[in-house]
Amino acid sequence: MPMTNLLLLIVPILIAMA
């Protein structure tokens, strides 16, 4: 599923921003 792939890519970015 592409949705899971996107989440795995976005989540780390959000953590890096926080």
Residue 7: per-residue pLDDT: 94
Question: What was the pLDDT predicted at 2?
Answer: 80
pLDDT score, position 14: 96
Residues 1-18: pLDDT tens digits? 688 999 999 999 999 998
How much is the pLDDT for 15?
A: 97
H-state helical runs in 1-18: 2-17
Report the distance separating Cα 16 and Cα 13, nearest Å: 5
Token pair, residue 2, equals 């592409």
At residue 3, the pLDDT reads 87
